[in-house]
Every structure is written in C-alpha cells, then in structure tokens.
Amino acid sequence: MTDLLPPAGRAGDAPGGHSLFPVFFDLGGQHVLIVGGGEMAAAKARLLAGTGAEIRAVDPAPEDEILAMAEEGGLRLECRGFEAGDLDGVRLCYVALEDGDAAAAVVAQARARGVLVNAVDRRPLCDFTTPAIVQRGEMTIAIGTAGAAPALARDLRGRVETAVPPAYGRLAGFCRAWRPAATARLAGRDLRRRFWDAVLDGPVAEAVLAGNEAEADRSMEALLENAARTGLPRPPGQALLVGAGPGDPGLLTLTGLRALQRADVVLYDRLVSPEVLALARRDARRIDVGKRCGRHSMNQAAINALLVRYAREGLRVVRLKGGDPFVFGRGGEEMEAMREAGLSVGVVPGVTAAVAAAAALGIPVTHRGVSRGLHLITAHGVDGALPEHDWKALAALGGTLAAYMGMRTLQGLVERLMGAGLPASTPVVAVENATLPGQRAIRGTLGTIAARVAEAAPEGPTLLLIGEAVTLAQGGTVAERVLDAA
C-alpha cells in the first residue's frame, strides 16, 4: 500500500497540514526501481517481494543481502551507478542512498519523468510513504503515519498482528472465491451488503476460521440461495442507546465501539466528541440531534420519532449519547418510545461524566472516613431553572455531590446548599471538558466557586464536584490548566 499526496504538493511541503490518501497499488508485472544496495534497499526489496512486481536494483557496490536476493531470483541487480535511463517504464522508484545530494538528484530525475518516488528517510523527497504492513493471505492491513512516526506504525503493526489471527487470510480468500457468484445472483448494493454482513456475522465465517471449509461451502450455498430467493428481509427494527462516555474515545466501551461500527444510522448529541463519532462506520448516516452554536436542539419527541422511523425501516440505529444514556440523558424516554412502537431496544452503558472527571483529577468520590457515597443531581430543570431538590437532605448526606448542567444556575445552587446547612468552606471543583485535551479544573469552595467560574468563563461542558473528597485530588499531576483556590 502506498500513501499518495495530491499533485499540488510534495510530501514534505507542509508537515501536519493535510492527511495522506491511502491507495493499494497492483504492482503485478510492473517495474519498480531501487537505487541503492545497502540495508535500506534490502528492506524495501523484501516488502516488494510478494507483490508480483519486476524489481530491479542498481548500485556500484551492493551489500550481501541484495546480492543474495539477486542470486535467488528475487530481483535483477546491476552493479553500477544510477543512470537516467533506468527510469524508463518504471512505476515506482525507491531511492536508498546515504548521500543526500545524490538522492535528491535521482528524485529530481524521477519527478521529471512522472515516476512516483520515495527517498528512504528523507521526508521532503517523497511522493509517497510506505506503511507498516500486516499480511493475512490476500488481505493486507497497512498502517501509515505520513512519515511522522515510523516507530509508532511498527508498534501498531505488532498489536494488529496479535489481534488478527492468521486464519483471517483464509477467510479473505474464501470470500474472494464466492464473490462472483454472489454478485451474479444478488441484485443491488444494499442486498449484497446485507448478505456479506450475514456471512461474516454467522456460521459461514465461523466454519472458515475453524478450518472446516466443506461446512463453510455448504452454509454459504444455503445462505446465497436464501438471499437470492427471499431478498433477505430486514429483521425487525431495533435500536441501541449507546453511552459515548465523557469525550475521550479511549473511554468508549468495546460493546459501544462494535455498535458504532455496525450502525446504519447514528443519532448523536452535542456532548459526543468528534473523535468518538469518527469511529462509526464510514457509510453510516450521521444525524446531529443536539444544540450547537445557538441553534435550537431537536425536541425529545422528534428524536423519539426518528428512532422509531429508522428502526421500522429495518436499519441498525444507534442513539449515541454523551456519558451514560440513563444518567440525565433521557434514555428512559427513548426506550419507552421504542417499546410503545413494538420495536426492540437495547442499552450500552457509558462512563458518566462525574466518575470520569473525578478520575481525571485523582479524586476518589468515595473514601473511607471522608465520603460515604456519590450523589448525582441535575442543576437544570425542564424550564431551564434550578430544580426543587430536597436541599436539606443533600446537605446532610455527607458524601460527594456531582451537579450536572449547573453553570447557568450555579449561584442559586450555591445559595440553596449553604442555606440548607452545607458550610461555605466545603471544597468544590468545576471540571470543564473532562478527559479531553482542553480539560480545565476551576477550584474553590462553596462560598467562592461562583465567582471563580465567572472569572474563568468556561465554554465547554462543565460539571461540579462538591465535598471533602475534592481535597484528595492529585495536586500538580493532572495534565490540564488549574485555577487554584489559594
């Protein structure tokens, strides 16, 4: 696989300014030139060995590995310096020379002839980068970092090697063998996609991975016959209410990730980070149902109606919600709407903001002798005002109090708690954008926090943690800007 840049720029022109576009080249029968004969040249030759390319290397003093490859017939070697004519008919060119000026001269010649060129370890002289590769039969998995961090790509390759069993190469070959028959018998892209989803999700793939290809063939024939005859009627509508967590994509659950990668439609709210949303299947329809930039959010009845509508169409619907669907997320209302419509609904829990914010700051929300419990409340009612909680009970609980959506009603929240007997000296921290790169902690006490928050003017989602456990935070070790109360 080769990461190619748009013609308007070269790979080294604007590091970090744009992403590279990955393309898989069929090099079968194509000419590839390697200029150089040392270790770097040998490494590129090894990568190219299974591609079917006609590999030729030129170097006046090639080292032993390149010589051995030539003797074994893996490449054609010419023991001389580079000549411009070497580029005639070449599809790709690798330049593996120690001398920077010599490498630049070869690159200039290649570009003048329209040959894509890569000068090894010389980023500005590369039209493409070569990724770390995991090969599973006919399946190739490639990991590229645009040349920024080859060591990271190698590390990820090792993780992928562990995560993807060698049998997946056998599964790829099995699918290739059956693809012409499926294409011929199944009309329409949608039906073919659902057919292949059924292949990979069911007994066919299980049989292939287990090494029982006879059983796999029988199951495949039966499934293909059924698909051609019935059109694979869509299953009864269903939806999943998925907790996206506090924002950091690393805190999304594995079950939530799998749901996103299988979803046909994703309804998401404003608290879902772009990084989490990007994990959804590429061709899934994404619908923003939250408030953004002052635009009114879609009301709950409209969201419920969308859930029911898409589920009735037989689509796999994910309602992606910040935090946990059942913690101030109106997940219960959406579940009731689905059930009333006679449709299936499931719930994938998420890490709620209070727990995530406390963990990010090193605050144990329960701690022996300090906090006997964690209590979650909302400071934002249906009408936007502070809800009428039992303030005396909250003040007497003796644990950690987490207040969601409390920035607009913060002054009233503080007054109610102090009026109910909670001391003005009670430690408080307001956490903005918990777990995200822009995370910020605004520290104070119940008596000072409103003024400190007004001074800091947080713009992102902000949660309040109130109680003696707040003093147990890991001072000076949290990777965010802290406005200290002192």
What is the crossing angle of helices 410-419 and 449-456, to 10°?
Answer: 170
CATH for 2-130, options being 1.10.1740.10, 3.40.50.2000, 3.40.462.20, 3.40.50.720:
3.40.50.720
pTM comes to 0.66
**Of the candidates 99, 98, 117, 97, the residue with the CA atom closest to the CA atom of residue 107:** 117
Residue 382, CA distances (Å) to 160, 337, 409 in order = 47, 19, 13
Maximum Cα interatomic distance, the chain, rounded to a whole number of Å: 90
| The amino acid at 18 | H
| The amino acid at 339 | R
Q: Is the CB of residue 208 less than 8 Å from the CB of residue 178?
A: no
Those residues with Cβ within 8 angstroms of residue 92's Cβ, 6 or more apart along the chain or in another chain: 2, 25, 27, 30, 32, 33, 53, 115, 116, 117, 118, 128
Those residues with Cβ within 8 angstroms of residue 203's Cβ, 6 or more apart along the chain or in another chain: 215, 219
Task: Report the sign of the C-alpha dihedral through residues 441, 444, 445, 446, in that order.
Answer: negative
User: What's the pLDDT at 275?
Assistant: 92
CA distance 377 to 343: 31
Residue 41, both tokens: 């040249």
User: For the CA atoms of the chain, what is the radius of gyration?
Assistant: 30
What is the crossing angle of helices 189-201 and 213-230, to 10°?
Answer: 150
Residue range 354-483, CATH number: 3.30.950.10
Alpha helix (H) ranges present in 38-127?
A: 39-48, 64-71, 100-112
Residue 429 has phi, psi (to 5 degrees) of -135, 135
The CATH class of 238-351 is alpha beta
The catalytic site residues sit at: 269, 291
What is the crossing angle of helices 189-201 and 167-185, to 10°?
Answer: 150
Residue 289, CA distances (Å) to 48, 256, 321 in order = 48, 19, 10
* Tokens 């619908």 found at: 287
CA distance 59 to 109: 17
Residue 67 has phi, psi (to 5 degrees) of -60, -40
Q: What is the pLDDT along the chain (486 residues), one digit of tens a residue?
A: 343 333 334 444 444 557 778 888 899 999 999 999 999 999 999 989 888 999 999 999 999 999 999 999 999 999 999 999 999 999 999 999 999 999 999 999 999 999 999 999 888 899 988 888 888 888 888 888 877 787 888 888 888 888 888 888 899 999 999 999 999 999 988 899 889 988 988 899 999 999 998 999 999 999 999 999 999 887 777 899 999 999 999 999 999 999 998 898 999 998 899 999 999 988 889 999 985 434 456 888 999 999 999 999 888 899 999 999 999 989 999 999 999 999 989 999 999 999 999 999 999 988 888 888 899 999 888 777 898 899 999 988 888 999 999 899 999 999 999 999 999 999 999 999 999 988 999 999 999 999 999 999 998 889 999 999 998 875 433 333 334 433
